[in-house]
Amino acid sequence: MRVHVIGNVAFDETLAVGEWPVPGASILCRMVAGGPGGKGLNQAVALARAGVDVRLVAGIGEDARGAAIRAALAAEPLVLGLVVMPGRATDLSIVLSAPDGDNCNITTTECAGALGPPEVRTALARAAAGDALLVQGNLSEAATRTALDAADARGMVRVMNPSPLRPWQAALLPDCEAVFLNGAEAEALGGVAALHAAGVAVVVLTRGAAGALVSGPGGVVEVAAEAVEVRDTTAAGDAFLGAALASALLRRSAIDAVALQAGACAAAVAVSRAGAFAALPAREEFAAIMRR
């Protein structure tokens, strides 16, 4: 079984700030980390390091940022399906990291948004029944719909992380077997009960220091967060999703307490480090998490 991640890649620059900027203000910062990133990339790498067969499909530019991303991904245990977008710059994310570890992400979507239905259909042409599709919120509505429809036609499991949250995603969430989202995203969509009422079967909710839960046909299961000193929360959700989904897929199980605990462990590792891609657990760390 293979997970096809169709999402975005970006070059991340993480800046430590002493306070959040306000309109008209000039503030000082410190460069913390720079390197590959993007939710699609981070989640694909997390899944692959956890032992899942992964193919990453994303738009990328022919520039220095794109070359740096390709070089970094060459060492990762995944299959690359990067699509060059002529004349477009590789997407860039500026991550502001506050002293308490909270963060704010500002991301361009020039390449991610240019990945259209034709590229998506080509990417899934060889997908097989039983494979999984994972999408986030950086693709266009047309590309996302095409991916979900193509996956459905092939008998694939469809998973969505609607982040960044966009108005049109609400209508697509019921087409997915599982949805991963955080508290703010869930609240904007009316809450877990409203998501179920709309037709979403399985909701995985991350709640930061309050832990995580999965709500589905078997009821609600909750796990606590791991106790750890928080340095930077940037990649916590991506690490959680990768570990939790990998745990369920590798055990051929529903997303259960074991999967949530794996996600909590991976998130704890990520928040203890600075950056996004650089903060993800290494392969040996994921291996230990999967054995717990």
CB 269 within 8 A of CB 281: yes
pLDDT tens readout for residues 4-58? 999 999 999 988 899 898 999 899 999 887 889 999 999 999 999 999 999 999 9
Mean pLDDT of the chain: 95
Of 220, 231, 213, nearest in space to 268 by CA = 231
Domains observed in the chain: 2-20+29-291 (3.40.1190.20)
> How many residues can be counted in the chain?
292
pLDDT band at 127 (very low <50, low <70, confident <90, very high): very high
DSSP annotation of 35: E
pLDDT for the residue 99: 87
Determine the Cα–Cα distance for residues 236 and 231; give it in Å rounded to an integer.
Answer: 11
Calpha distance 221→7 (Å, rounded): 28
Q: Please, what's the b/e burial string for 185-216 (b: 16 or more CB within 10 A of its CB; e: otherwise)? A: bbeebeebeebbeeebebbbbbebeebbbbbb
Cα angle: 124, vertex 128, 131; to 5 degrees = 90
Residue type, 66: G
pLDDT of residue 105: 82
Given the structure tokens 């390709």, which residue do they identify?
70
In this prediction the pTM is 0.94
Residues 23 and 26: their CA atoms lie apart, in Å, by 9
* Residue owning tokens 């890649």: 9
| Sign of the C-alpha dihedral computed for residues 235, 238, 242 and 243 taken in this order | positive
CB neighbours of residue 47 within 10 Å: 27
First-to-final CA distance of the chain: 22
pLDDT above 90: residue 103: no
More confident residue, 285 or 35: 285
